[in-house]
Amino acid sequence: MSLVGILVASRKQRKNVLKQYLQSNTMNLKLFCFTPSSINWRRKRVTGLHQSNGRWVIGDFPFPKVVYNRCYNTDQLLIERLGAVIGINKCFNHINQFNKQEIYSNLNRWLSDYLPATVPFDKENAVQLLKVHNELYFKPCYGHQGKGVVRVEMKASGEIHMGHHYFSPEIIFQDTQQFQESIQTILGSTPYIMQEGISIQQVDDRVFDIRALVQKNENGLWSVTNLVSRIASKGSFNTSIYDKVCLSQEILGRLYSPDKADRITQSIYDISLRSAEIMDENTAYHLGEFSVDFALDKDEHAWIIELNGKPQKTLYNGISKQSAVYIRPMQYAQYLCKHRS
pLDDT digits (tens, 9 = 90+) for 132-160: 999 999 999 998 777 899 999 999 999 99
Residue 227 backbone phi and psi in degrees, to 5: -125, 120
Residue 177 backbone phi and psi in degrees, to 5: -65, -45
For CA atoms 119, 125, 129, 134, give the dihedral sign.
positive
3-state secondary structure at position 269: helix
Distance, in Å, from the CA atom of 172 to the CA atom of 152, rounded to the nearest integer, reads: 10
Element (H, E) at 5: strand 2-7
Element (H, E) at 232: strand 222-232
Confidence band for 305, pLDDT divided at 50, 70 and 90: very high
The mean per-residue pLDDT over the stretch 259-287 comes to 96
**In the prediction, which pLDDT does 340 show?**
58
3-state secondary structure at position 88: coil
Confidence band for 290, pLDDT divided at 50, 70 and 90: very high
3-state secondary structure at position 214: strand
Distance, in Å, from the CA atom of 203 to the CA atom of 188, rounded to the nearest integer, reads: 35
Please say if the pLDDT value at position 16 is more than 70: yes
Distance, in Å, from the CA atom of 257 to the CA atom of 330, rounded to the nearest integer, reads: 37
Please say if the pLDDT value at position 13 is more than 70: yes
Please say if the pLDDT value at position 25 is more than 80: no
119 CB-contact burial (10 Å; exposed 0-12 / middle 13-18 / buried 19+): middle
Confidence band for 19, pLDDT divided at 50, 70 and 90: very high
Closest C-alpha among 216, 206, 224, 238 to residue 332: 216
**In the prediction, which pLDDT does 145 show?**
74
Please say if the pLDDT value at position 28 is more than 90: no
Percentage of the residues of the chain whose pLDDT score is greater than 70: 99
Q: What is the model's pTM?
A: 0.94
Element (H, E) at 339: helix 324-339
Q: What is the mean pLDDT of the chain?
A: 94
Q: What are the DSSP E strand ranges found in 53-170? A: 55-62, 66-69, 91-92, 118-120, 135-140, 150-154, 160-164
pLDDT tens track for 114-135: 999 999 999 889 999 999 999 9
The mean per-residue pLDDT over the stretch 53-71 comes to 95
Distance, in Å, from the CA atom of 64 to the CA atom of 33, rounded to the nearest integer, reads: 11
Distance, in Å, from the CA atom of 18 to the CA atom of 39, rounded to the nearest integer, reads: 18
Pairing of strands 118-120, 192-196: antiparallel
**In the prediction, which pLDDT does 339 show?**
81
**In the prediction, which pLDDT does 273 show?**
98
Q: Which residues contact 38 (CB under 8 A, 6 or more apart)?
A: 11, 46, 47, 48
The mean per-residue pLDDT over the stretch 72-76 comes to 82
Work out the number of other CB atoms within 10 angstroms of the CB of residue 78.
17
Check if the beta carbon of residue 256 is closer than 8 Å to that of residue 301: no
**In the prediction, which pLDDT does 341 show?**
53
Q: In angstroms, how far is CA 250 from the centroid of its own chain?
A: 22
DSSP percent split of the chain into helix, strand, coil, nearest 5? 35, 35, 35
Distance, in Å, from the CA atom of 290 to the CA atom of 279, rounded to the nearest integer, reads: 10
